[in-house]
Structure 1
Amino acid sequence: MEKDFTEANRYYDAQKKVKEIRGFYEHLTVYVLCNPIVIVVNYMTSPEYLWWIWSVMGWGIAIVLHGLKVFEYPPFYNKKWEQKKIQEILEKENQKRLENNHGNKFE
C-alpha cells in the first residue's frame, strides 16, 4: 500500500513539474512572438524614442526569473528551501503550543 502511495506522489510531482516547464515555454513563446510587434509599433509611432528596449528588457528579466524558478537554478526558494522553511514553521508552532499548554497548567 505504501509503495502505491509513494508512486502516486511521485507521478503527481512529475506531472506538476511538466506543467511548470510547459508554462515557462509558453511564456517564452509569447515573449518571442510579441516583442517583434512591440518593436515595429515603436518604430512606426515614435522612432525618435526607442522605448521598446525597456519593454524587451523588463519582460526579459521576468523570463529569466521564471526560467530560474522552473529549472531550480537559484540557490534560494527551491525545494530544499521550502522543506527547511516548513520545518521551521512547524517547530515554531509546536514551541508556541508547548508554551501555551505549559502556561495553562500553572494557572
Structure 2
Amino acid sequence: MNNLESEAYKKAAKRVKAKKEFYNHLATFVVMGVFFFLLNAVTAWGSWWFYWPMLGWGIGILFHYIDVFGIPGVEQVNDSDWEEKAIQEELRKMGYSGKEKSFGKSEEEDYLDLKEMKKEKASRGRTRWDEDELV
C-alpha cells in the first residue's frame, strides 16, 4: 500500500470509528431513556421528571450527530479537505479544467499582449480602451 492509500485508509478508519462511537452513544441514550422512564414510573407515577435528563442528553446526542455526520443538506466546513474542494469548485466555475500547469499568464505573455495592443492602437488610430486602464 502506498502512502496515499495508507492516508486514505487511516482517514476512513477514523470516520468509521467516529460513527461506531456515535451509534454506541445513541444506544446508551435509548437504554437509559427506558431505564429513567421505568424508574420514574415505579417511584413517582404521575410526577414526570425523566424527560429532563433525557432532554439534556438528547441535545448532546444532536451535537454528536452533527459532529460525525454534519447537518443534512449542508456541506461540512470543518472537513480537512473542504478548503481544497472549494478551491477546485471555484476554479471549475471560472473555466479552468485543472490541466493547465499555471493558472495565470507569465510576465512575458502579459508583456506580449501589451505590445500587441499598442500595435493595434497604432494601426487603428483610436482605441477601445483608455490609456489609464493599461497596467
Paired residue total: 82
Bigger shift: residues 41-50 or 27-36: 41-50
Is the CA contact 1:69–1:78 (under 8 Å) kept in the aligned structure 2? no
Structure 1: which amino acid aligns with 2:47?
Answer: Y
Structure 2 runs not aligned, ≥5 long: 84-135
Task: Determine the C-alpha separation between the residues in 2 that align with 1:26 and 1:57.
Answer: 18
- Displacement, 1:82? 9.0
Q: Are 1:78 and 2:93 counterparts? A: no
1:56 aligns with one of 30, 54, 57: 54
The corresponding residue for 1:91 is none
Identity %: 30
Greater relative contact order, per chain length (Cα 8 Å cut-off, separation 6+): 1
Q: Over residues 62-90 of structure 1, what are the superposed CA-to-partner deviations in whole Å (9 max), with x where a residue is unaligned?
A: 1111011001227776225997xxxxxxx
Q: Which has the larger radius of gyration?
A: 2
**Shift, 1:50, TM fit:** 1.1
RMSD: 2.5
Contact kept? 1:39, 1:52, Cα under 8 Å: yes
Would the aligned equivalents of 1:28 and 1:63 in 2 still touch at CA under 8 Å?
yes
The residue number in structure 2 matching 1:23 is: 21
Alignment TM-score, normalising by the size of structure 2: 0.52
For residues 38 and 28 of structure 1, what CA distance do their matches in structure 2 show? 15
Paired letter, 2:19: I
Give the number of the structure whose residues are more often helix, by fraction.
Answer: 1
User: Which consecutive residues of structure 1, in runs of 5 or more, have no partner in the other structure?
Assistant: 84-107
**What does residue range 1-107 of structure 1 map to in structure 2 within 5 Å?**
4-73=2-71, 78-80=78-80
Moved over 4 A (4+): 74-77, 80-83
